[in-house]
Amino acid sequence: MQAGHAMWSGLWLWPLVAVCTANTFREQAERIMQDTPVIDGHNDLPWQLLNMFNNQLLDKRADLNTLTGTHTNIPKLRAGFVGGQFWSAYTPCDTQNKDTVKRTLEQIDVIHRMCQLYPETFMCVTNSSGIRQAFQERKVASLIGVEGGHSIDSSLGVLRTLYHLGMRYMTLTHNCNTPWADNWLVDTEEDNAQSHGLSPFGKLVLKEMNRLGIIVDLAHVSVATMRAVLSQSSAPVIFSHSSAYRICEHRRNVPDDVLQLVNQTGSLVMVNFYNDYVSCKGEANLSQVADHLDHIKKVAGAGAVGFGGDYDGVLRLPAGLEDVSKYPDLVAELLRRNWTETEVRGALANNLLRVFEVVEQVSNHTQNPEEEPINLDKLEGSCRTQYGYSVAPGLHHQWGVLLAALAPLLLSWCLL
């Protein structure tokens, strides 16, 4: 009877031990994040500001201190220990060959205005040292990522201009091909391969991004494009919001052979929280996100892991990661899984800072920029002008066809 009583007493203690252990991991997570806050690779709040308020930030409903109906606002960022954010300057694929450059400029503008309107919270920065400065000042280092290579309208001049406006990464495609790179829907056969990775002009875009110091982002691209870039880029690259294909076999995720290339090149995969990429189902949970982080760490190394939640860009999020305030709970789960403090700090910020610093070191603004334009016949759009193309590509060929057709007639005249 006494032994049975002791057994029951022990069983009552287990829930208390579990609660205390969970609290310990959460407290440890918060302690770590006090001086190494999370740098997230992708947040679509600017897109929500366009959809909800047409980018009118002075609208009282758009106050980021009280904003509702989004995954992101200032109190949630504070609660989540977010110290750095790549805000997405996103324009949909249906703007391609239309007003994509204008739309992209407007989204870059709204990010700058967020920093101007809330200087106590956001600090717009353009380099790794700026991120560290924002950390010291307890502000959110705010960087610009342009989501989709269609935003440059196949122009190296536009690429350079966006860099000067603060763009520090560019996703090479969104859910559509550009004239120079293929998107992930090629791998599902919902789209046709055009560049089979990178076209010759795509290789020039890559070289110019390396020269300028723009981080190359491979989220959304085809596997062939992933491999082409990882084999040709002179600097490490990122996947700003992608997960592990082995854990969830969705083509937006990164396969193991590419993860090995990520390891070899010192690149980075920032894990996406979208349920469809986490569990390949409509529902997911925090533990399954940690499974992706574990797998990427196992295959590509602890230095290859980061967070790219895709908040405010997706409709379905895992239980336990409903908004940007929940990062400490994910960090606590990693600690529970025996991640070291160094590994956790790497995933939070240090891995991204390392990649960014190498990108900056590789950049060379004294080197002549790439100038060769894309061939005009690679471009679409009925409203497109042809200034600068003195002879439209194919015109010489058309003259040749015309002369060939006229040759018999000319010969007959000569014989008269």
Q: Kindly report the backbone phi and psi dihedral angles of residue 122, in degrees, each rounded to the nearest multiple of 5, phi listed first.
A: -110, 140
Whose tokens are 């809330």? That residue is 118
Using an 8 Å Cβ cutoff, are 156 and 205 in contact?
yes
Active site residue 365: no
Known catalytic membership, residue 174:
yes
Relative orientation angle of helices 286-300 and 327-336, to the nearest 10 degrees: 60
Rounded Cα distance, 398 and 248, in Å = 50
Catalytic residue among 71, 241, 292, 295: 241
Structure tokens at 229: 């870039």
Instruction: Give the span between the Cα atoms of 117 and 113, in whole angstroms.
Output: 6
Determine the Cα–Cα distance for residues 402 and 109; give it in Å rounded to an integer. 50
> Of 40, 44, 208, 343, which is the active-site residue?
44
Q: Is 377 labeled as catalytic in the residue annotation?
A: no
Q: Contacts by 381-385 with C-beta closer than 8 Å and gap 24+? A: 381/97, 381/98, 383/98, 384/97
Instruction: Please identify which of the residues 40, 71, 147, 182 carries the catalytic annotation.
Output: 147
- Active-site residue, selected from the candidate residues 40, 42, 250, 295: 42
Q: Which two tokens stand for residue 300?
A: 């590509």
From the candidates 71, 150, 174, 250, give the one annotated as an active-site residue.
174
Active site (annotated) includes residue 310:
yes
Interatomic CA distance for residues 287 and 297, integer angstroms: 15
Please tell me which residue in 153, 182, 187, 310 is annotated as part of the active site.
Answer: 310
Phi–psi pair at 227, nearest 5 degrees: -65, -40
Q: Which of 153, 187, 208, 220 is catalytic?
A: 220
Residues annotated as catalytic are 42, 44, 147, 174, 220, 241, 310
